[in-house]
Amino acid sequence: MKKKIVFVINYFYPDFASTGQLMTELCLHLQHDFDVTVIAAMPENMKGSKQRLFTEDKLEQIRIVRIYLPEVDKSSKWSRLRYISAYFFSALWATLRERKTDIIYTISTPPVLGGLLGTLGKLFKGAKHIYNIQDFNPEQAEVVKYTKGKTIFRIARMLDKLNCRCADHVVTVGMDMQETLIRRFGEKPVPRNSVINNWTDEADIVPLSKEHPKVKAFLEKHGLLNKFIIMYSGNLGLYYDLVNLMGVTLPFKQRDDLAFVFIGEGAVKKEMVAFAEAHAVRNCYFLPFEPKDSIKYSLNAADVHLVVNQKGIKGVSVPSKIYGVMAAGKPVLGVLEQGSEAHRLIAESRCGVVCEPGAYDDIVEQIDRMLGMNSSALAEQGMNGRVYLEQHLGRAASMNKYKHLLKQLTVQA
């Protein structure tokens, strides 16, 4: 009989969030070896006028328990708090209702409470717990000064250390994040852990010319033909310094042959749009998320991709968008701290250049330099990333590491 794994992961198919896409692919990979149940929030586009708290559906062999939650305004702290609280208590109830659970798999979303779901699930269900840390919190919230309450941060750190200590295995997604985990415990024993990097589907996202019919269609649709495109594709959230980074567009705002393209949604999008309007930066384009099957075309529409993190995020989070950019064979302009996971990947693969967060003059200089580069030199940089990805960051390799880890834990269960 297959061992049962319950994934309590908030975002899942068809949600556009990067963790939702990753977890969907992982569950599909595991469904033949395990009995997989997913507990996740119901995406907005699936909600009806009348809805029960829990509804069930399936994706191939995966059973999905979807939780009906209030709408969230990501720019409002109170709206976020209401949403997170509703998710936590509903997901905990759904987890405790599951029968004969061998492993509970949780991720670090929502902050701290994602891990706590696994800790409580393990306590009450007698299951093993894998805690996958995509972002360290409260460290991430401290960087952006999400609240001034130091006591809240102290309690949250203690609680998440407890989550790590109680987990049967902790997975981080970068070597710099593993270092953060080790630092958390100082002289005390560190929980069993491993690094398993995130991924993209390198068989689906491949390098394509701007003349490819669907890439060209994307460019035509948005009025981007014959422009040098610097693109940011992903969450327009609090942890990327994107509002301040908008300032680097000002020296180039008169250039009709250049476009800064921001694809995605998030808490700071309104501020970014307001900045562009206030400063008459007409070559800034703000586009919604692309459907999953179209991302490969939008990624290939760019000449250069921005991969950024705010100062202080080193060892706290890894921008997973870098894998898609490398798969598309596009050069990277990184705004990243030296020694961070994404910085290491860019340096080792030689797929682009990196500036320190906050070094806006340096970023402007690198944009100017890349604008003047020969197109073949830019293409070579991008392809360096593709080759490195194929050699070191393959999708199957990462998912098989998870499968091996889960099988080990079920033998011990």
Residue-wise pLDDT for 45-78, tens only, equals 777 766 789 999 999 999 999 999 988 776 677 8
- Domain 213-392: give its CATH superfamily: Glycogen Phosphorylase B; (3.40.50.2000)
Report which DSSP code applies to 391. H
pLDDT at 262: 98
Query: Within 10 A of 223 (CB to CB), how many other CB atoms are there?
Result: 9
Q: How far apart are the first and last CA of the chain?
A: 14
Give the sheet arrangement for strand 193-195, strand by strand: 54-59, 62-67, 35-41, 4-10, 103-107, 128-133, 169-172, 193-195
Residues of the chain with pLDDT under 50: none
pLDDT at 413: 55
CATH no. for 4-199+394-412: 3.40.50.2000
Report the amino acid identity of residue 128. K
pLDDT at 72: 78
Return d(Cα 222, Cα 220) in angstroms, integer.
Answer: 5
For the chain, residues classed under CATH 3.40.50.2000 are 4-199+394-412, 213-392
Q: Encode pLDDT of 20-35 as tens digits.
A: 999 999 999 999 999 9
Confidence (pTM): 0.90
pLDDT at 267: 86
Could you tell me which residues come within 8 angstroms of residue 153 by beta carbon, excluding any fewer than 6 positions away? 138, 141, 142, 147
pLDDT at 40: 96
Q: Provide the H-helix boundaries in 199-268.
A: 213-221, 242-245
Q: Encode pLDDT of 184-205 as tens digits.
A: 999 899 999 999 999 999 999 9
Q: Measured between alpha carbons, how far is residue 107 from residues 19, 113, 153, 161, 347 in Å?
A: 9, 9, 19, 14, 28
pLDDT at 170: 98
